């Protein structure tokens, strides 16, 4: 049975290796999901495949135990090895059509986009893509060399143009969440807003409150 996204708008949480490791990732993901996150993406750029496999296994166990979808960033091999629900690919990663062919039609494939040209290109491959990420909407520090911030206006245009569900990403916190939600994306992806400081459960609960108050 094909995995499907929750009702919109929902919270899509992405792990950050600066704050999470083998010893705390299970508890961190579990608290995020218990507070309302519906999708968890495991992302690590500086770790070995063995380290990623161990951490992703724990994160997947925590997410699935409480009914959240689990996605792995970039690495289809890790995603398949841990039994993830899907993989999220960048513009320079494995082409989406190959990922879908290897993993099967029921496996979720997401694609990062950073401008309207890429959104339109994704429309042309929508049989291989289940959703797109669009951003960074605001400046972000979670990547070493991030793409330029798109701004809310471009996000709104992306949502209008896209034939696929759009996940807004990049520099999103509760302080600017209202402007992001005005574009009606399918989901909002957050990293630092959840894991950088404070209590993870409280952070997610506050973001969920904002989503709940603006979903009509």
φ and ψ at 166, to 5 degrees? -110, 130
How far is the C-alpha of 43 from the C-alpha of 93, rounded, in Å? 14
Judged by DSSP in three states, 93 sits in coil
Helix segments in 66-216, DSSP class H? 76-82, 96-103, 116-123, 152-161, 177-181, 192-195, 200-214
Cβ burial 105-137 (10 Å sphere, 16+ → b, else e): eebbbbbbbbebebbeebeeeeebbbbbbbbbb
Q: Which residues are catalytic?
A: 43, 112, 143
φ and ψ at 79, to 5 degrees? -60, -45
How far is the C-alpha of 216 from the C-alpha of 214, rounded, in Å? 6
Could you tell me the sign of the dihedral formed by the alpha carbons of 100, 106, 183, 173, in that order? Answer: negative
Instruction: Let me know if 101 is exposed, middle or buried by CB neighbors in 10 A (0-12, 13-18, 19+).
Output: exposed
């Amino acid at each position: 049975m094909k995995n499907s996204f929750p009702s919109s708008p929902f919270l899509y949480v992405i792990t950050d290796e600066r704050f999470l490791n083998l010893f705390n990732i299970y508890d961190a993901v579990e608290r995020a999901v218990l507070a309302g996150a519906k999708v968890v993406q495991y992302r690590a750029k500086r770790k070995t495949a063995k380290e990623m496999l161990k951490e992703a296994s724990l994160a997947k166990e925590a997410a699935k135990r409480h009914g959240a979808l689990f996605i792995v960033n970039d690495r289809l091999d890790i995603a398949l090895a841990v039994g993830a629900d899907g993989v999220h690919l960048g513009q320079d990663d494995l082409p989406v059509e190959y990922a879908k062919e290897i993993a099967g039609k029921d496996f979720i494939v997401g694609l990062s986009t950073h401008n309207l040209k890429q959104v339109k290109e994704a429309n042309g491959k929508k049989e291989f893509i289940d959703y797109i990420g669009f951003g960074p909407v605001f400046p972000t520090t979670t990547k070493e060399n991030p793409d330029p911030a798109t701004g809310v206006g471009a996000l709104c245009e992306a949502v209008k143009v896209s034939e696929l569900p759009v996940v807004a990403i990049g520099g999103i916190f509760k302080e600017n969440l209202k402007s992001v939600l005005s574009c009606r994306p399918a989901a909002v992806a957050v990293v630092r807003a959840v894991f950088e400081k404070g209590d993870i459960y409280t952070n997610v609960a506050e973001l969920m409150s904002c989503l709940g108050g603006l979903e009509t």
